Amino acid sequence: MSTEPKAITQLLRQSSGGNKQAFDELVPIVYDQLHKMAARAFSAERPGHTLRTTALLNEAYLKLVDADVVWTDRVHFFAVAARVMRRILVDHARGQAREKRGGDVEKISLEQSVDVGAHAPSKLLDLDRALERLAERDRRKGEIVELLFFGGLTYDEAAAALDISPATLHRELKMAKAWLYKELEGSREAAT
């Protein structure tokens, strides 16, 4: 995400100040990074899936354009973009799960969840529910997982977005992963 950070921050601030054209100028600058974020979300997708990387990117763009957010900098922008993409994927997975009317539920670990796409909507929903429970217990730990796994931010970028040190981020990520692992495993045992 080293794409012209000062230009991105300047355009975001102009956009927050009401300059609609600034956001339009921003898009070509951040498009590649947003596309990489969307592609990462679909890295394990099967061919011919109903939701494509470009569709995810376009839907995220529409939500970001209409977002009532006071942008602080590019890291904040990419953090919000990661959250928006996560919401879109979860909503799509919920739609898929409704279509299956429950179907067989398969639980996964956090490490497996990184590669979850819409081909396994129940796995994404399990992870989403676990992340929501984590965020209820400790909001920052939930944000760390979301920024790193859904947003593709580096440790340094996520730490900057949360205004914490990389060491604190690493320590809290270890605790978050342990909690999520226990939560996902507990769900798996309860389902059997």
Banded model confidence at residue 101, pLDDT cuts 50, 70, 90: very low
For the chain, the average pLDDT equals 78
DSSP string of 136-167, one letter each residue = HH-HHHHHHHIIIIIS---HHHHHHHHTS-HH
Residue 43 three-state SS: coil
Instruction: Give the count of domains, the chain.
Output: 1
CA distance 35 to 57: 6
pLDDT at 19 over 90: no
The pLDDT of residue 104: 47
User: Count of residues for the chain?
Assistant: 192
pTM of the predicted model, to two decimals? 0.64
C-alpha 155/C-alpha 174 separation (Å) is 12
Instruction: Name the pLDDT band for 187 (thresholds 50, 70, 90).
Output: low
Residue 97: pLDDT band by 50, 70, 90 thresholds? Answer: low
From the number of C-beta atoms within 10 Å of its C-beta (0-12, 13-18, 19+), residue 18 rates as: exposed
Q: Determine the Cα–Cα distance for residues 84 and 65; give it in Å rounded to an integer.
A: 11
The arithmetic mean of pLDDT across residues 4-32, rounded, is 86
- The whole-number pLDDT of residue 189 equals 64
Average pLDDT over residues 93-117: 54
Contacts within 8 Å (CB) and 24+ apart, 29-34: 29/3, 29/4, 30/3, 30/74, 30/77, 30/78, 32/3, 33/1, 33/3, 33/78, 34/60, 34/61, 34/81
Query: By residue range, what is the domain housing residue 152?
Result: 5-191
Q: What is the pLDDT of residues 112-146, one digit of tens each?
A: 544 444 445 567 778 888 888 999 999 999 889 88
Given a cut of 70, whether residue 98 has pLDDT beyond it is: no
53-86 confidence digits (pLDDT tens): 888 888 888 888 888 888 888 888 888 888 888 8
Q: Which residue has the higher pLDDT, 102 or 178?
A: 178
Structure tokens at 85: 């993409």
130 versus 190: the higher-pLDDT residue is 130
Structure tokens at 44: 């394990």
Q: Looking at residue 42, what is its pLDDT? A: 65
pLDDT tens, position by position, 139-180: 999 889 888 877 777 888 888 888 899 999 999 999 999 999
| CA distance linking residue 192 with residue 183, whole number of Å | 15
Percent of the chain as helix, strand, coil, to the nearest 5: 75, 0, 25
